Every structure is written in C-alpha cells, then in structure tokens.
Amino acid sequence: MPFKNLKEIIARQDFFSPGHGLCAGCGAAQIARIVMKIAGKDSIMVNATGCLEVSTTTYPWTAWKVPYIHVAFENAAAVASGIRAAYDALIMKKKLGKDVNVVVLAGDGGTADIGLQALSGAFERGDRITYICYDNEAYMNTGIQRSGATPYDAWTTTSPAGQKTLKKDLMGIAIAHRVKYAATATISYLLDAANKVEKALSISGPSFIHWLQPCTIGWRYDPKLTVKLSRLAVKTGLWPLYEHYDGINKLTVQVPKRTPVLEYLKLQGRFRHIMDNQEELAKIQSYADELAAKFGLGPVVE
C-alpha cells in the first residue's frame, strides 16, 4: 500500500541515527534516513566509498542500526549481488529462514563512473537489489571534482571553466538494461520518494532510484536551501520526477508551469560564472525545454 501522507512516513522507526559527520544541510543524510525508514530492520545496507560512507561509519562509531557493509568504490553493486546470492542460497538450502532487503546507497561517481560496470552486471543478471544513486553531481568526498554526472556549465575544481558536456543519462542506462523498475526522486517531494523506495523494494529483480542530492559545499549554497533547491530542480524541469515500470515511463509529479532555470542556477555558486552569460543560460534553458517535451511538463511561466 502506498503511503498517503508524510506523517505515516515520519512515524516510522529510524535505522539511520542522527549522530553522523555529514555536513549541515547535506541531502545524503536525509536520503539515508528516509530510505531506512521505508526499508526497515530486515535490510542490509551497502555503500560505495564516498561522503555517506566515511561520515557515518567512523570507527568505533556507526550511524547504522542495520547490518552495513562498505568494501570499495567501484563494486557496490557486486557487493550487493553477493549478499543477495548468499541469502538466496542459504534460504534455498534451509540454512537461514528470513530474507532481507539488499539496498545500495552510492554516489554519482560510484554509480555513473567507476561503478558503472558492476552496476551493469547486476542489472543484466537480474539480481534482486535496490540500488539508489544519491547524485550530488561531482566527486564531493574528495573535494568537488567533476564526474560523469556533473551538469553542463557547472564549476568544479577540475572543471574550473565549467563542465562542457551534459551529464550521463543514468535512468536511460538503467532502462536500457530492461530493469523492471527505475525512478527519479528528490527530498522535496518526500511522499513521492518514499513510495518509490517502497515500490523498488517490492520488485523481484533489480530496481534503481536516481536521487538528486544538493550538496551545500560543492554547489556553493546556504545550507538552509537544500530542500528549496531540490524543489526548484523539479519545477524548472531539470529533474523530472518519473518512474519506469514494466517498460512504461510515467511522470509522478506534474509540473504544469515551469520556473525558468535561472531561478535554480542563481542560488548556486557553481553557476556564478554564467550569471551574465545569456548564451550559456539559454543553452541550459533549452536543455530543460527538451526534458519538458520528453516528459510532458508545462510551459515556462516567468
């Protein structure tokens, strides 16, 4: 049964503790908290190397009240598949009785770049895992270097003049593997996100969620704006909220009137260098228009 309101979600028990070292305003902590509220006790959490991992598992402490494993950067999907294989085998052989959810939380570097091969393998094999990419659009843990998910024109320490290519279409990659369920999410539409996590966990094969995660440090904004930026990403059409189920794409949050991309970009220091560059701003607006046409969003209303 889908969640009907936020109260139902918030009332759920927490399996991700507040005592961690992530930044104030970090979207990843909020994602982890919600994912664990939905996934619940009988879940195993897998992380790729990244902010979430280093900030939540500093020995001798841990923020995780579920079994947790981190192995390396590029193999989160393979690690999750190994857990799935082990539980399936042990249950088949009656060595264990109770099944678990296997959930991955990995950043965009660990998903779109170095971890893409392992993820492709897990998708192709049809392994029953829920893989969630928290996408902050650069290598934030190492100090804001560009990744394959960095958006066009964004400043990072290794794209000082702005990224000159479009970000990889991770959803397209997942769908090309014929995964039964793939969805986009943000923390500003919590009910939508929570229901997507719930649905992803119920799928009998691999499921994928691409979750936009504003990063206060890397995007250069005031920590209080994390939720607002998440909302603006959706409102501008740059982050359409949709799900792909059994071969069909469906918009889950309607955007009848789009906000101009400038409203989203101007709050972020990483786009500061193009604020007076009408040509570049127009390119980003036209990219949002393309997405709007593809997903059936409304027109831009100034």
Residues that bind another protein (CB under 8 A): 41-44, 46, 53-54, 57-60, 62, 64-72, 74-75, 77-83, 85-90, 92-93, 95-96, 98, 100, 117-118, 120-121, 124-125
Whether residue 60 has a cis bond before it, omega within 30° of 0:
yes
Nearest to 62 by CA among 47, 75, 76: 47
| Closer to another protein by Cβ: residue 32 or 154 | 32
Q: How far is the CB of 114 from another protein (least distance, A)?
A: 10
Residue 57 to residue 105: CA distance in whole angstroms: 14
| Closer to another protein by Cβ: residue 15 or 287 | 15
| Closer to another protein by Cβ: residue 60 or 160 | 60
Residue 278 to residue 260: CA distance in whole angstroms: 13
Q: How far is the CB of 214 from another protein (least distance, A)?
A: 23
Note whether 97 and 70 are within 8 A (CB).
no
| DSSP assignment of 148-216 | TTPPTT--BTTBTT---SPPP-HHHHHHHTT-SEEEEE-TTSHHHHHHHHHHHHH-SS-EEEEEE---H
| Closer to another protein by Cβ: residue 129 or 154 | 129
Pairing between strand 130-135 and 68-70?
Answer: unpaired
Q: How far is the CB of 265 from another protein (least distance, A)?
A: 34
Q: How far is the CB of 225 from another protein (least distance, A)?
A: 28
Q: How far is the CB of 107 from another protein (least distance, A)?
A: 15
| Closer to another protein by Cβ: residue 197 or 229 | 197
